């Protein structure tokens, strides 16, 4: 059966330094779908068209206005990947709660307000990361390494001056940080940092895949990527999870997997 698909490219403000890569994976998926389906791609920086079922939507957008439109479409029966709820679950304050509920292994983390001095976890003095508590980083100061509570308070104050209401303090975990890219029900690719102590073993890669899937399931993500650290004892910790990464290092295989997923999993959630 021929289906209608609408792809929505991410707003430029949410693609810092990755505008071309983000658009490239969306266009690659659209090109694969276009072989057998009717497809069009629009930008969330423009006014979104009116759609209804049976159109299927694959969306990279993240702005409140675009998500409000997706939510209205979903209420009318349109299938959206990732769903509006899943996209919003990647906001760090929601992600932390979901990981805690589902016991997903992640570094000790604490949600903070930015509008007043407050008690910080003692482990901040041993090294921590402060990350804005809502959307993922749009500029370098959205994720900052600190090594003391005084430095953390200064970063919180700077975020508050920028209008950021909350931040996530996450304990630094020494080890190798691996980037991974995935699609529910099959595709998984991970990449080691250049200075990794050693390559992943087969068992470690399987475990990392399982951890990524568990995190995605907790957030209801279907198309996702993120960061996982292997500490010096060999333990794995999920640092971050994103909806619709750029897949720049594995675009061909990822676009094939995403297109296949969309054609076979767009009838039900």
Residue ranges per domain, the chain? 4-82+253-264, 108-171, 175-243
Same fold, 4-82+253-264 and 108-171: no
What is the rounded average pLDDT for all residues in the chain? 93
**pTM recorded for the entire structure:** 0.91
Q: What architecture does CATH give domain 108-171?
A: 2-Layer Sandwich (3.30)
Average pLDDT (135-151) is: 86
Average pLDDT (97-113) is: 94
Q: Which residues pair with 37 in a beta bridge?
A: none
Model pLDDT, residue 115: 84
Question: Tens digits of per-residue pLDDT, 19-29?
Answer: 999 999 999 99
Q: In which band, very low, low, confident or very high, does the pLDDT at 269 lie, cut at 50, 70 and 90?
A: very low
Model pLDDT, residue 267: 58
Nearest to 135 by CA among 72, 177, 87: 87
Instruction: Give the CATH number of domain 175-243.
Output: 3.30.470.20
Q: What architecture does CATH give domain 4-82+253-264?
A: 3-Layer(aba) Sandwich (3.40)
CA separation, residue 222 to residues 100, 106, 131, 169 (Å): 20, 20, 24, 26
Nearest to 243 by CA among 53, 22, 65: 22
Question: Tens digits of per-residue pLDDT, 169-209?
Answer: 999 999 999 999 999 988 999 999 999 989 999 999 999 99
Q: Report the relative pairing of strands 109-113 and 79-81 from DSSP bridges.
A: unpaired
Model pLDDT, residue 46: 94
Model pLDDT, residue 190: 96
Model pLDDT, residue 253: 97
Q: In which band, very low, low, confident or very high, does the pLDDT at 2 lie, cut at 50, 70 and 90?
A: low
């Amino acid at each position: 059966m021929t289906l209608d698909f609408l792809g929505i490219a991410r707003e430029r403000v949410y693609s810092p330094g990755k505008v071309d890569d983000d658009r490239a994976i969306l266009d690659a998926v659209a090109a694969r779908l276009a072989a057998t389906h009717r497809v069009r791609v629009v930008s969330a920086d423009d006014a979104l068209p009116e759609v209804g079922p049976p159109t299927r939507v694959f969306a990279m957008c993240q702005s409140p206005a675009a998500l409000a439109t997706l939510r209205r479409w979903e209420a009318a029966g349109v299938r959206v990947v990732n769903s509006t709820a899943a996209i919003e679950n990647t906001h760090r304050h929601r992600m932390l709660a979901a990981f805690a509920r589902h016991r997903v292994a992640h570094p000790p983390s604490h949600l903070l307000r930015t509008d007043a001095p407050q008690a910080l976890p003692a482990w901040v003095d041993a090294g921590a990361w402060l990350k804005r508590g809502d959307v993922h980083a749009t500029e370098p100061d959205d994720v900052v390494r600190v090594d003391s509570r005084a430095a953390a308070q200064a970063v919180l104050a700077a975020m508050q001056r920028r209008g950021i209401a909350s931040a996530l303090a996450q304990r630094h975990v020494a080890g190798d940080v691996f980037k991974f890219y995935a699609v529910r029900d099959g595709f998984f690719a991970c990449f080691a940092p250049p200075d990794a102590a050693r390559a992943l073993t087969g068992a470690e890669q399987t475990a990392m895949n399982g951890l990524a899937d568990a995190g995605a399931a907790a957030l209801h993500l279907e198309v996702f990527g993120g960061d996982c650290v292997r500490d010096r004892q060999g333990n794995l910790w999920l640092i971050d999870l994103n909806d619709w990464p750029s897949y720049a290092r594995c675009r061909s295989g990822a676009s094939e997997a995403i297109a296949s997923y969309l054609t076979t999993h767009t009838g039900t959630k």
